Amino acid sequence: NSEYILFVGSNLFDGNYGPPNRTPRMTQRMVEGKLKCTVLDPRFTKLASKANRWVPVKPGTDAAFAMGMTRWILENKRYNAPYLAAANKAAAAANKDTTWSNGCWLVKLDDHGKPGAFLRAHEIGLKEKETRKDKDGKEFNFEYLVAMQGGKPVAFDPNDEKEGVVGDLFVTAELDGKDGKKIKVKSGLQVLLDT
């Protein structure tokens, strides 16, 4: 039921995997004018000949094209903000989504400003580690993650089904670490925008 498809690195009509079962459905939708497609491929393939647009990318530049698209989407605010701001399962459920994003999760930066691991709540004295049990009764250490909510750090469990956390999407901040040192952080989406 797609209305628009961007084909990158896959070729519906002359790939080596044989005609998939989607080919007849998509061909029919193209003929009916219900489906438009763009093909990114260095070669003018059979699919490109039927597409609404062919983008003859240079070999090996697909990732650059994707990053350019991502940047345009972020700069022009064409993203699904409620989805990206849902930090955990409960927030996603409130949006009627079945998955959630790490777009608002805080990422620690090293001394050179390079992103590293996600910030853990115990690192800023927000919430300590816990010992939990998995479904088989085996114990494991659990660490809460952190998002900014209205400019303040909030600890959360990504799999929490009861307390939803909706975080700020574009964050650059310095937080006080438990050991007295400052911890530079950015939200995951801010890291992507700055890349």
Of 7-11, 15-19, 79-83, 153-157, the least confident = 15-19
Of 10-19, 52-61, 73-82, 85-94, the least confident = 10-19
Question: What is the share, in percent, of the chain residues with pLDDT greater than 90?
Answer: 82
Given a cut of 70, whether residue 75 has pLDDT beyond it is: yes
pTM: 0.81
CA 56: distance to chain centroid?
26
What is the number of H-type helices and E-type strands within the chain? 6, 11
pLDDT of residue 27: 87
Q: Which residue has the higher pLDDT, 33 or 195?
A: 33
pLDDT of residue 10: 75
Going by DSSP bridges, is the β-strand pair 36-40/53-55 parallel, antiparallel, or unpaired?
A: parallel
Stretch 171-177: mean pLDDT: 97
User: Is the distance from CB of 99 to CB of 108 less than 8 angstroms?
Assistant: no
As a whole number of Å, the end-to-end CA separation of the chain is 34
User: Is the distance from CB of 162 to CB of 181 less than 8 angstroms?
Assistant: no
Given a cut of 90, whether residue 129 has pLDDT beyond it is: yes
Question: What is the share, in percent, of the chain residues with pLDDT greater than 70?
Answer: 97
One-letter amino acid identity for 159?
N
pLDDT of residue 19: 61
